[in-house]
Amino acid sequence: MLRLHFTIDDLADTRLATAPDLALETVLSLRVLDAGANDLRFRQWRRTLQHRWDPHSLLLGDLCAPTVLPAFLTDHIEPDPRATAASATGPDLAHRRAYIEFLAKFRPLTPFARRLADEDLGARALFGRALGGYQATAIDPFRSQIHTLVAADRARTAHSAAAGMQHLFDSLHPCVRWKSPVLEVDVLRPDDVDVHLNGRGLLLQPTVFGSAHPVVAGYNTPDGRPTLCYPIRSQALLGRDDIVPVRGLVPLLGRTRTAVLTAIAERGLHSTGELARHIGCSPAAVSQHTTVLRDSALLRTDRVGQSVRHVLTDLGEALLDANR
User: Over the stretch 261-319, which tens digit does the pLDDT of each residue have?
Assistant: 888 887 777 888 888 888 777 888 889 899 999 988 889 998 877 788 898 887 887 77
Other CB atoms within 10 Å distance of the CB of residue 288: 14
DSSP string, 2-24: EEEEP-HHHHHT-EE-SS--HHH
User: Over the stretch 96-152, which tens digit does the pLDDT of each residue have?
Assistant: 888 888 889 888 999 999 999 888 899 988 988 888 888 888 888 888 788 878 887
* Residue 234 pLDDT: 75
What does the alpha-carbon distance between residue 126 and residue 116 come to, in Å, rounded to a whole number?
A: 9
* Residue 245 pLDDT: 43
Residue 84: which of 129, 121, 52 has the closest Cα? 129
User: Over the stretch 1-57, which tens digit does the pLDDT of each residue have?
Assistant: 899 999 999 999 999 998 888 888 988 888 888 765 677 788 888 888 877 777 888
User: Over the stretch 172-199, which tens digit does the pLDDT of each residue have?
Assistant: 888 999 999 999 998 876 678 899 999 9
Q: Which one is predicted more confidently, 75 or 17? A: 17
* Residue 79 pLDDT: 41
* Residue 164 pLDDT: 82
Mean of pLDDT values over 65-78? 66
Mean of pLDDT values over 244-251? 59
Q: Is the pLDDT of residue 81 over 60?
A: no
One-letter amino acid for residue 41 of the chain: R
Backbone dihedral angles phi then psi of residue 307, each to the nearest 5 degrees: -115, 175
194 strand-pairing partners: 3
Burial of 164 (0-12, 13-18, 19+ CB in 10 A): exposed
| CA angle, residues 247, 252, 256, in degrees to nearest 5 | 65
Most confident of 60-64, 70-74, 75-79, 148-152: 60-64
What does the alpha-carbon distance between residue 37 and residue 285 come to, in Å, rounded to a whole number?
A: 44
Which whole-number Å values give the CA distances from 25 to 40, 229, 250, in the listed order? 18, 10, 33
Other CB atoms within 10 Å distance of the CB of residue 1: 14
* Residue 196 pLDDT: 93
Q: Which one is predicted more confidently, 247 or 25? A: 25
Beta strands in 102-171, from DSSP E residues, in sequence order = none
Mean of pLDDT values over 235-260? 68
The mean-pLDDT minimum among 186-195, 206-215, 239-248 falls in: 239-248
Q: Decide if 312 contacts 152 (C-beta within 8 A).
A: no
Give the three-state DSSP class for 136: helix
Cis check: omega of the bond before 70, within 30 degrees of 0: no
